[in-house]
Amino acid sequence: MINSFYRAYISEQYKLSKNRQLFWVLLFPVLIIFMADSYILYEATRSEIVGSVPNPWKLLLGRYVFQFFYLIYPILIAIFVYACCDVEYKNNNYKILFTLPVSKAKIFFAKAVFIIVVVLFSVLLAYFFFLLSGFTLSRLVPELGFQNYDYREVIFFTFLRLFITLSAIAMIQLALSLVVRSFIFPMGFSMFMIVFSGIAANKEFSDFIPYTGSIKSLTNIMSENISFERLDYSNLVMAGIFLMLSFYLFKRKGAL
């Protein structure tokens, strides 16, 4: 059957997987972890940190990696989501999309599911590389003490909550990219929200700003916080709300 979600999904996946931005969103977090590892190794050779850090998962790897994740991940997501919408703006390809014998709902949800799947794979890849780099460092420089701590539970929950945050951010960026064609607006909004969430992170209302989740992933890994909080539930709701808002915008969209 032509008008099926499966066909809509595989065709969207085929088309969108040709975007260079896909590789950035998948590989850049891994690159950050690799660079953090290299820096830790460099520091270790200078013997300044060997034996002096109580929990290297938290105070070395976690701190270095999540300081970058907090700033870079929302921007990577914004670029990737924009690229997924931009392929349709170029040559007015909405004309192809809206004259396919597939309903608009199936096309939209295929696109949204693909975005969420890529975000999931990106976070999963980062999670595995994070664990792998800790275990590798424990073998290469046992003096750092990675092997003395079992931090897997905290790492798992930190990445899980990061995934929820990034899903909400992806849906907000999807709505923005469907409203405006310009690259500047969704990117500028994303950058502004990163700065704003950094300033407002300690305020109560910050739980209702999904972008705060990225800075809180740093505080979560540092404070060993594994409990789900209001921010995480709010982000789940936000992801749903912005998914439906994006669907509404997509349905209203014409190909003029």
Partner 1 sequence: MESIRTNKLCYKIGDKVILDDINLEVPRGSVYGYLGRNGAGKSTTIKLLLGLLTSKHDNIFIQDRSLKSHPTAIHSLTGNLIEAPCFYNKLTVFENLKYLDLIYGQGTERIEEVLELVDLHREKKKQASSLSMGMKQRLGIAMAIYHDPELLILDEPLNGLDPQGIFEMRKLFQSLNEQGKTIFLSSHILSELERVATHIGIIEGGKLIFQGTKRNLLKEVKRTVVLKISSAESATELLTSKDFSVSLDDSNAIRVEIASDQQLNELFKILVLNGIDIYAVESFGADLEQIFMNLISQAND
Which runs of consecutive H residues, i.e. helices, occur in 180-254? 184-200, 212-223, 230-252
Contact 151, 58 (CB under 8 A): yes
Binding status of residue 227 toward partner 1 by CB under 8 A: no
Q: Which stretch binds partner 1 (CB under 8 A): 12-20, 62-70, 124-132, 221-229?
A: 12-20
DSSP H or E stretch at residue 23:
helix 20-45
Work out which of 3, 38, 182, 223 binds partner 1, going by CB under 8 A.
3
Tell me how far the alpha carbon of residue 72 is from its chain's centroid: 9
Work out which of 8, 60, 79, 218 binds partner 1, going by CB under 8 A.
8
Work out which of 7, 27, 160, 189 binds partner 1, going by CB under 8 A.
7
| Angle formed at CA 245 by CA 233 and CA 83, multiple of 5 degrees | 95
The whole-angstrom separation of Cα 9 and Cα 6 is 5
Q: Which is nearer to partner 1, 17 or 147 (CB)?
A: 17
Contact 146, 56 (CB under 8 A): yes
Q: Which is nearer to partner 1, 15 or 181 (CB)?
A: 15
Residues 80-109 that bind partner 1 (CB under 8 A): 87, 90-93, 95-96, 98-103
Binding letters toward partner 1, positions 17-56, x by CB under 8 A: -xx-------------------------------------
Q: Which is nearer to partner 1, 55 or 103 (CB)?
A: 103
Q: Which is nearer to partner 1, 49 or 87 (CB)?
A: 87
Binding status of residue 11 toward partner 1 by CB under 8 A: yes
Structure tokens at 147: 């092997």
Taking residue 108's Cβ as centre, other Cβ atoms within 10 Å add up to 23
Rounded least distance, CB 173 to partner 1, Å: 20
Q: Which residue has the tokens 């982000």?
A: 235
Contact 46, 144 (CB under 8 A): no
Structure tokens at 21: 């931005």
By the criterion CB under 8 A, which residues form the site for partner 1?
2-3, 7-8, 10-11, 14-15, 18-19, 87, 90-93, 95-96, 98-103, 254-256
